[in-house]
Amino acid sequence: MVDQNATSSTQALYKMLIELGPTKTLFGHQDTLAYGVNWKGYHPWRSDIYDVGGKFPAVFGWDLGKLGSAPRNLDKVDFTHMQTWMKEVHRRGGINTVSWHFDNFVRGTDSWDVRGKVVAAILPGGAAHRAYLDKLDSFAEFTRGLKIEDSDTELVPLLFRPFHEHTGDWFWWGNKHCTVDEYRALWRFTVHYLRDQKQMHNLIWVYSPDRFRNKAHYLERYPGDDYVDVLGLDNYHDLGPWGSTKAFTSQLRSIVELAEERGKVAALTETGLEAVPHQRWWTEVLLSSIQSDPVAARIAWVLLWRNDRADHHYGPYPGHPSVDNFLAFSSNPAVWFLDDLAITDFTS
């Protein structure tokens, strides 16, 4: 692992992913407890995925965009509620994963404003370096609110997935907006700062490029085996009308091969088809793309993006035309939900 001093819960989580990956795919959903297509506002424990099929996801995705500068994240999820949910997820045997749509540190705008050579500016010596450290400090502060029940010190482990989709060019950390060396330096700096300076030992580091052409392309900006625990992939395009499910499967196969050569975990860290306009998408596109190749099928989890509005959601919700097919997908024995994890004893 990146962190030789990872807490025992963090190590146990990583071991569980290593063990489950080859035979199970954990189902994940972004912001699943925070809102659904037809409900907003705080509910302690609700999800469109549960409302549809009676099962909660096994992996719960969250985003830290605006942490430290606002009480709610970029999609209006209250950070205090997020902490409560993260702890509850852990208590029930689930897994939390965190992405971070950082604002643009140079221009005060958002992740999608690619101007300002932001990566160069936040590296040591850069004009916005201090602002970046303050952000990372706010993450350390946030995690201090994640104490595991019945433990004095241990924090809920997080699959931490910063600077994602960098093979694309839509975020300021994307391939066109910084050099290979700058990207790697930023990743490594962040590991050193959080692990060694801030002593955060509850993180599992997840690298998640967007779609890629071949293994060399995947590894072009890879910060190194000492800095990555999970080899991820974000890919929406290839499961949509203009993509290629064959290319999708072959990318999954590649990340599994690259991960297994290194004794690491592979995962489909983001995917989905906006509004799911294909009634049988769950089994005929998503599941079949994962399972059509026995190597690709060894990914540890798949995370669907958030359910916001009727025209912007990636999971099903009650009444959606793909519900029956989602139920078929979720009853596949290889696809695991929260209850499957909760009834399995991984400590033995």
Q: Which of 154, 270, 274, 284 is catalytic?
A: 270
* Beta carbon nearer to ligand BMA, 150 or 311: 311
β partners of residue 30? 61
Question: Contact at 8 Å (CB) between 307 and 32?
Answer: yes
Does residue 75 belong to the site contacting ligand BMA (CB under 6 A)? yes
Question: DSSP character for 202?
Answer: -
Give the strand pairing for 25-30 and 335-336. Answer: parallel
Among 74, 131, 185, 295, binds ligand BMA (CB under 6 A): 74
* Beta carbon nearer to ligand BMA, 74 or 148: 74
Does residue 165 belong to the site contacting ligand BMA (CB under 6 A)? no
Dihedrals φ, ψ of 309, to 5°?
-125, 170
Among 81, 101, 188, 278, binds ligand BMA (CB under 6 A): 101
Q: Any catalytic annotation for residue 270?
A: yes
Measured CA to CA, the distance from residue 331 to residue 53 in angstroms comes to 9
Among 48, 63, 165, 229, binds ligand BMA (CB under 6 A): 63
* Beta carbon nearer to ligand BMA, 74 or 131: 74
β partners of residue 26? 301, 336
* Beta carbon nearer to ligand BMA, 62 or 189: 62
Measured CA to CA, the distance from residue 149 to residue 161 in angstroms comes to 25
Does residue 237 belong to the site contacting ligand BMA (CB under 6 A)? no
What are the tokens at 114? 């690619």
- 138 three-class SS: helix
Convert 224-238 to b/e letters by CB count within 10 Å (16 or more is b): eeebbbbbbbbbbbb
Question: Contact at 8 Å (CB) between 155 and 144?
Answer: yes
Q: Any catalytic annotation for residue 154?
A: no
Binding footprint of ligand BMA, residue count (CB under 6 A)? 6
Among 90, 161, 264, 306, binds ligand BMA (CB under 6 A): 306
Q: Which of 165, 257, 261, 284 is catalytic?
A: 165
In angstroms, give the least distance from the CB of 32 to ligand BMA. Answer: 13
Does residue 140 belong to the site contacting ligand BMA (CB under 6 A)? no
* Beta carbon nearer to ligand BMA, 35 or 193: 35
Angle value at C-alpha 212, between 210 and 215, nearest 5 degrees: 125
Q: Provide the binding-site residues for ligand BMA, judged by CB under 6 A.
A: 63, 74-75, 101, 305-306
Question: Which sequence positions are flagged as catalytic?
Answer: 165, 270
